[in-house]
Amino acid sequence: MTWQEKLETTRRFCEQDDSLENYFGTAEGAPEEFMAALRDRFPFVDDDYLSFLRVSDGASFDICTLFGSGCSRYRGVIVELESLADDLEDIPEWEDIATENQLIPIGKTAWGDGLLMMPDQRIVVIDYIHQIPGEGRTLAQSFSTLMEEVFMGPQFPTIVAPDAWTPDSEDAWTHYLHQQGWWPEGNDK
């Protein structure tokens, strides 16, 4: 099942059942002008991220938030990039990258780690304070893999750490992933 199908299935589920209201959220699509500006500023932006923004201007998946244009309730990518440039201006490894548009901050984890799209379209998770750009851990090789396999699939525990999830960590979101068959029971590590 594609990420688009999973997203729509989850939206429909939430219309009938409020058990995920604290774990999942979406918005109306982002303005086309924003997506054109994003493509101009970041020529390497993954087409699937732009497709996502067309259907939802940001989103939340349990412990992660995806940014959008800033026109919805979700933080804007450009605002986040400018904030990073200001916050990290005294760290040379970050200053050059943030000011030269060499990465796209597409989201954050609940504990503040960044989700970055790199020029090769990989999605990495990084602790801005303790790591420099090259030290981030790859979550997915593309945005579609992030959506299909990580946020809404069997690789969900890799957001925290590959071996950190236990059945005691189950919440409404992970239960939903199991229930849908997107993260099969017994495939918990």
Q: What is the dihedral of CA 129, 85, 36, 28, to 10 degrees?
A: 50
Q: Under CATH, which architecture does the 3-171 domain have?
A: 3-Layer(aba) Sandwich (3.40)
Give residue 187's pLDDT: 54
pLDDT on residue 147: 98
Q: Which of 9-23, 97-111, 123-137 has the highest mean pLDDT?
A: 9-23
What single letter denotes the amino acid at residue 11? Answer: R
The two structure tokens encoding residue 99: 């000011």
The answer to whether the CB of 115 falls within 8 A of the CB of 64 is: yes
Buried b vs exposed e over 148-185: b needs ≥16 C-beta within 10 Å? bbbbbbbbbbbbbeeeebeeeeeeebbebbbebebbee
- Give pLDDT, residue 129: 73
pLDDT given at position 103? 86
Sketch the domain layout of the chain as residue ranges.
3-171
Q: Any bridge partners for residue 124, and if so which? A: 116, 138
Determine contact, residues 95/85, Cβ cutoff 8 Å.
yes
